[in-house]
Amino acid sequence: MRGALSFLTSVGRGGQPGPRTLDWFPLAGAMIGLVLGAVWWGSSRIWSAQLSAALVVAADLAVTGLLHFDGLVDSADGLLPHLDRERRLAVMGSPEAGAFGVGVAIVVVLLRWAALVAIRPSVILLVSLWCLSRTGMALVVRTQPYARSEGGLVSAFAGPPRWAALIFGVGLSVGLAFAWRLPAGAVSVVAALVAGGAVVWLARRRIGGFTGDVLGAAGVLAETAGLIAAAARWS
């Protein structure tokens, strides 16, 4: 668990990722969602929906140490322009942010904020979506090829799939989404899976697999798509 928190958040830096770290990704994601849900519920009792939503977005950036948003920016800069494979990987490994990355990051932040404004504060919803996004990250690491020739930090996770932990994560996410509201909960789960899967598919096509940046981008976009679907005007 310490390894999962070390990799996914700005806390727990004492833990070193290992082969079993991925087993704890779903629970770590649920814990992040629980913290953000508490911020959302508590702040909504004091301030307007707009300010409360902004605090949740800011809290997410703080808790994750901007790690996943950094992956979103790098992935947008590397995967979206017309470049060859080696140039894409070089751009994604560069610390500079380009126009594609900045533009995508701004749009995603605005979409997350607007969706949170439109939804009645719910701890259950955020636990569901954040658990699902981290479960998806673990699934990608276990089933997809790594794009870079060197192993990098992700090489610490090497090992066969442990399906029990992944099934637990999906089951917890789906169960909480259904408990939150139907049909909105079901559609939000589907939207999250499609968005995250689309990022992984694009990366597989353009760089031959995933990187740490791709994991971050897939997680952020899965959460965002889930929030947008949950904010729809369901009858």
Stretch 115-136: mean pLDDT: 97
| Tens-digit pLDDT profile for residues 2-47 | 778 877 888 766 556 677 888 889 999 999 999 999 999 999 999 9
Condensed to tens digits (0 to 9), the pLDDT of residues 44-59 reads 999 999 999 999 999 9
Residue 7, pLDDT score: 77
Both structure tokens of 217: 């981008």
Asked whether residue 79 is domain-assigned, the answer is yes
**Is the pLDDT score of 121 beyond 70?**
yes
| Whole-number Å distance between alpha carbons of 144 and 165 | 17
pLDDT tens, residue by residue, 149-204: 776 656 667 666 678 888 999 999 999 999 999 999 999 999 999 999 999 999 99
Residue 208 structural domain: 2-230
- CA dist 209 and 228 (Å) reads 27
| Residue 228 pLDDT grade (very low, low, confident, very high; cuts 50, 70, 90) | very high
pLDDT at position 13 is 60
Prediction pTM value: 0.93
- State CA 184 to chain mean position distance: 20
More confident residue, 15 or 148: 148
Is residue 51 a part of any domain in this protein?
Answer: yes
Report pLDDT for 14.
55
DSSP assignment string, the chain: -HHHHHHHSSS-TTPPP-TTGGGGHHHHHHHHHHHHHHHHHHHHTTS-HHHHHHHHHHHHHHHTTTHHHHHHHHHHHHHSSS--HHHHHHHHHSS---HHHHHHHHHHHHHHHHHHHHS---HHHHHHHHHHHHHHHHHHHHHS-BSSSS-TGGGGG-S---HHHHHHHHHHHHHHHHHH-TTHHHHHHHHHHHHHHHHHHHHHHHHSSB-HHHHHHHHHHHHHHHHHHHTS---
The per-residue pLDDT of the chain, averaged, comes to 91
Mean pLDDT within 111-129: 97
Instruction: Give 235's pLDDT tier (boundaries 50, 70, 90).
Output: very low
> What pLDDT score was predicted for residue 3?
78
Number of other CB atoms surrounding residue 126 within 10 Å = 31
Considering its fold, how many domains does the chain have in total?
A: 1
Residue range 64-92: mean pLDDT, rounded: 93
